[in-house]
């Protein structure tokens, strides 16, 4: 039984999970494949301090990724360093040498994935990226193969575990975002710089990748309307509950007659929907197909071992193709060629909205706000107010009937100039068309 040889670049969170699984689960992996995988070379900046599982020995260790990507005996390179600079060099070097690549890199693949796949095709190598979105959930395999016979009409995801953990802890404990974030940082659940998670950029890259697979369009992440969770406060959960909803950071991709509508933003989600049950650092993707209708995928979106499983499963798939001598030609984007995405502004969305205000109380506030909404032809649905003693910082909510995002934004901009408002209104979609 001839080995297929692996080179692992990056032994951080995902890399260490990957080598642990390759060592501990070697017998199962060999039984499934009919041949073993051998870790031939590893690279990490602190490779001398890293303790590798003994079962992997002998392994060539280096701090220079080039020695792995160009190693003559390495058949598949796992790029597990992340980022868009060195990682791009590692992948292009390996592919140019006809070595297949497995990567967990959402950011790079969302930016340059189609181009890297072209390079893989022209080199006769493969490029696999299951670990790049929703670590432990095999959503790429689902969209690429499992339901590829269907025509996806919409996809909704909770794709950032950190922000989902923060929101669900705020909901459970009534704490502020700052307090929960600090605790998550202490526990190692959130990065010291939390921006990628709480401002929605991590989720945006993931939505760009999944939308490319689901809809066959090449999506530039910066074309996706993105709003993070920083403005959500405990009182928003109180109001959401009154409305029989909760709040989640929702990645949405929906085919409309005008084109593909994409957004990453906090939204009110009906408590009765399956997405509301996604709590803590979990991820979920809800796919709606024209023929197969609804399917739902749930699991750990990150973590050393869940993401390691995704990497190892890709390594097995690519190794099988190498051993059989017929590199699979299924594009990692599920489409042979991706079309160009023509960004559609979310301002054309039409749905009900939730507007939350913080005001220095005085007579005439509702009349002033209602007047602005009426001026934009926006119809009020309800006015809600939970008890609050501080009349100088009084929260309350107005919900409005379905209207365009354009009208609601214009109204919110006008309201933001009113001197009794302590901050601009917080605007969230009230019910996406789940």
CA atoms of 169 and 192, how far apart (whole Å): 19
Sign of the CA dihedral with 382 first, then 353, 428, and 255 last: positive
> Which residue lies nearer to ligand HSE by CB, 124 or 277?
277
CA atoms of 173 and 284, how far apart (whole Å): 23
CA atoms of 71 and 308, how far apart (whole Å): 23
Number of residues that bind ligand HSE (CB under 6 A): 7
Contact between 407 and ligand HSE by CB under 6 A: the answer reads no
Q: Which residues pair with 298 in a beta bridge?
A: 284
8 A C-beta contact, residue 67 and residue 41: yes
> Which residue lies nearer to ligand HSE by CB, 79 or 197?
197
Q: What is the DSSP string of 391-431?
A: TTSEEEEEEEEEEEHHHHHHHHHHHTT-TTBSSPPEEEES-
Task: Please compute Rg for the chain using Cα positions.
Answer: 24
Question: Site for ligand HSE (CB under 6 A): which residue of 285, 302, 359, 412?
Answer: 302
For the segment 20-49, give every residue that binds ligand HSE (CB under 6 A): none
Nearest distance, CB of residue 270 and ligand HSE, angstroms = 23
Q: What angle do CA 92, 121, 139 make, to 5 degrees?
A: 85
Question: Site for ligand HSE (CB under 6 A): which residue of 7, 138, 216, 301?
Answer: 301
Contact between 16 and ligand HSE by CB under 6 A: the answer reads no
Nearest distance, CB of residue 4 and ligand HSE, angstroms = 27
Nearest distance, CB of residue 80 and ligand HSE, angstroms = 12
Contact between 171 and ligand HSE by CB under 6 A: the answer reads no
Contact between 139 and ligand HSE by CB under 6 A: the answer reads no
Structure tokens at 45: 């900046």
Question: Site for ligand HSE (CB under 6 A): which residue of 161, 200, 266, 395?
Answer: 161
The one segment of 51-59, 154-162, 288-296, 414-422 that binds ligand HSE by CB under 6 A: 154-162
Nearest distance, CB of residue 209 and ligand HSE, angstroms = 11
**String marking each residue 195-224 x if it binds ligand HSE according to CB under 6 A:** --x----x----------------------
Contact between 113 and ligand HSE by CB under 6 A: the answer reads no
Residues marked active site are found at: 206
Any idea of the CA torsion for 177, 182, 185, 187, to the nearest 10 degrees?
-100
Reduced to 3 states, what is the DSSP secondary structure of residue 378?
coil
Nearest distance, CB of residue 97 and ligand HSE, angstroms = 28
Contact between 160 and ligand HSE by CB under 6 A: the answer reads yes
Q: Which residues pair with 380 in a beta bridge?
A: 400
Contact between 170 and ligand HSE by CB under 6 A: the answer reads no
Nearest distance, CB of residue 202 and ligand HSE, angstroms = 5
The one segment of 24-32, 49-57, 160-168, 272-280 that binds ligand HSE by CB under 6 A: 160-168
Contact between 79 and ligand HSE by CB under 6 A: the answer reads no
8 A C-beta contact, residue 314 and residue 102: yes
Nearest distance, CB of residue 289 and ligand HSE, angstroms = 25
Reduced to 3 states, what is the DSSP secondary structure of residue 150?
coil
CA atoms of 279 and 187, how far apart (whole Å): 17
The one segment of 56-64, 155-163, 267-275, 339-347 that binds ligand HSE by CB under 6 A: 155-163
The one segment of 72-80, 143-151, 157-165, 413-421 that binds ligand HSE by CB under 6 A: 157-165
Q: How far is CA 257 from CA 153, 348, 349, 384, 429, in A?
A: 11, 12, 12, 35, 20
8 A C-beta contact, residue 285 and residue 297: yes
CA atoms of 430 and 176, how far apart (whole Å): 21
Task: Name the site residues for ligand HSE (rule: CB under 6 A).
Answer: 160-162, 197, 202, 301-302
């Amino acid at each position: 039984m001839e080995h297929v040889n692996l080179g692992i670049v990056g032994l951080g969170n995902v890399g260490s999970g990957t080598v642990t699984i390759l060592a501990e689960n070697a017998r199962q992996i060999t039984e499934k494949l009919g041949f073993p995988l051998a870790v031939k070379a590893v690279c990490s900046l602190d490779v001398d301090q890293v303790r590798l599982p003994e079962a992997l020995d002998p392994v060539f260790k280096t701090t220079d990724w080039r020695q792995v990507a160009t190693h003559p005996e390495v058949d598949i390179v796992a790029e597990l360093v992340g980022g868009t600079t060195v990682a791009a060099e590692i992948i292009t070097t390996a592919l140019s040498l006809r070595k297949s690549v497995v990567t967990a890199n959402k950011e790079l693949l969302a930016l340059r994935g189609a181009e890297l796949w072209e390079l893989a095709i022209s080199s006769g190598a493969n490029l696999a990226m299951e670990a790049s979105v929703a670590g432990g959930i095999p959503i790429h395999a689902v969209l690429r193969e499992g339901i590829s016979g269907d025509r996806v009409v919409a996809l909704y995801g909770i794709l950032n575990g950190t922000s989902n953990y923060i929101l669900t802890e705020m909901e459970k404990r009534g704490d502020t975002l700052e307090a929960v974030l600090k605790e998550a940082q202490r526990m190692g659940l959130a990065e010291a710089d939390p921006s990628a998670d709480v401002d929605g950029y991590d989720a945006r890259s993931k939505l760009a990748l999944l939308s490319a697979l689901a809809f066959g369009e090449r999506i530039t992440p910066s074309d996706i309307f993105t709003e993070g969770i920083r403005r959500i406060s405990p009182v928003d959960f109180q109001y959401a509950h009154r409305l029989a909803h909760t709040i989640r950071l929702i990645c949405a991709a929906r085919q409309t007659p005008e084109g593909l509508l994409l957004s990453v933003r906090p939204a009110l989600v009906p408590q009765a929907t399956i997405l509301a049950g996604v709590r803590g650092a979990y991820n979920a993707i809800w796919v709606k197909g024209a023929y197969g209708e609804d399917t739902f995928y749930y699991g750990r979106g990150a973590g050393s071992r869940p993401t390691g499983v995704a990497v190892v499963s890709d390594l097995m798939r690519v190794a099988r193709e190498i051993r059989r001598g017929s590199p699979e030609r299924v594009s990692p984007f599920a489409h042979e060629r991706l079309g160009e995405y023509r960004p559609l502004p979310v301002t054309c969305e039409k749905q009900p909205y939730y507007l939350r205000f913080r005001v220095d109380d005085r007579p005439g506030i509702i009349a002033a706000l209602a007047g602005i909404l009426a001026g934009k032809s926006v119809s009020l649905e309800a006015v809600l107010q939970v008890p609050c003693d501080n009349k100088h910082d009084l929260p309350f909510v107005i919900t409005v009937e379905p209207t365009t995002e354009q009208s609601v934004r214009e109204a919110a901009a006008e309201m933001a100039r009113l001197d009794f408002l302590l901050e601009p209104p917080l605007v969230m979609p009230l019910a996406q068309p789940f």
